[in-house]
Amino acid sequence: MSDSPTALITGAGRRVGSAIARELHQAGLNIAIHYRQSQGEAAALASELNALRPGSAAIFAADLNDPSALPGLVDAVVEHFGGLAMLVNNASTFYPTALGEADGAAWDDLFASNLRAPFFLAQAAAPHLRAAGGCIVNITDVHAERPLKGYPVYCAAKGGLLNLTRSLAIELAPAVRVNAVAPGPIEWPDDAAVFPADERAAIIAHTLLKRCGSPHDIARTVRFLVLDAPYITGQVINVDGGRTAHL
């Protein structure tokens, strides 16, 4: 077991979550890789990280839609690594909910992953984070403040996560810092039907930099907030190529 501090990253098996895991691991942290369905990808990532630094990564399964599973996830990480210093709430569900077509199941699902789970994970982790003088980083979305047409439930949930970030910064001060990173056009779901190519192109055209960002842009910003920002709390950093500068 390493003496390095441990970061729990939800949804870390793939996409942006895996980029965050690699970035924080490179900085010397132990990485608790949470997954729900991507066991193979999570295990491959853990093997990759452990090959670089033995015993520095492990995988943990949990359904974030089940509130009763969240304290157990935190307990399992603490038992394995001996502590918990950082929580990155990255896991997210994203799909459209057109007004007039949305139902209660979609509402519950989108709020569970994007808002309820981050709160209850923070609540379960709080004693360990306080003991470590640690931090939380929530991955929100630029549309938490500037809603995207056709996605009202998702935007409402991410808006709640943004305000939860500020609320937790108050609740956990002064021992624990809480911040957020809000991606713009970084990496969309693999299913083009969820977010069509023409909509993606229009969003990229509306950025000042006229290009899509990469998961590494998010990962580097998370690393900054975790390791290099001791006097920043209750804030959100938009990583969006300038999209929100003129929305």
pLDDT per residue as tens digits for the range 185-217: 887 666 555 667 787 788 888 889 989 899 999
Residue carrying the six token digits 């969820």: 194
Q: Which CATH code fits 6-245?
A: 3.40.50.720
Indicate the SS3 state at residue 43: helix
> Active-site residue among 35, 95, 151, 154?
154
Give pLDDT, residue 197: 78
Handedness of CA 18, 148, 209, 241 (dihedral sign): negative
pLDDT digit string, tens, across residues 2-15: 689 999 999 999 99
Distances (CA, A) of 117 to 29, 164, 194, 198: 23, 11, 23, 32
Give pLDDT, residue 203: 83
Token pair, residue 19, equals 């980029």
Contact (Cβ atoms closer than 8 angstroms) between residue 208 and residue 165: no
Give pLDDT, residue 185: 86
Give pLDDT, residue 246: 74
pTM (2 d.p.):
0.94
Give pLDDT, residue 188: 63
DSSP state of 65: T
Q: Which residues of the chain have pLDDT under 70?
A: 1-2, 188-195, 247
pLDDT digit string, tens, across residues 158-193: 999 999 999 999 999 999 999 999 999 887 666 555
Give pLDDT, residue 11: 97
Give pLDDT, residue 2: 63
- Tell me the one-letter amino acid at 106: A
Give pLDDT, residue 202: 84
Domain map (residue ranges) of the chain: 6-245
Instruction: Based on the residue annotation, tell me whether 154 is a catalytic residue of this protein.
Output: yes
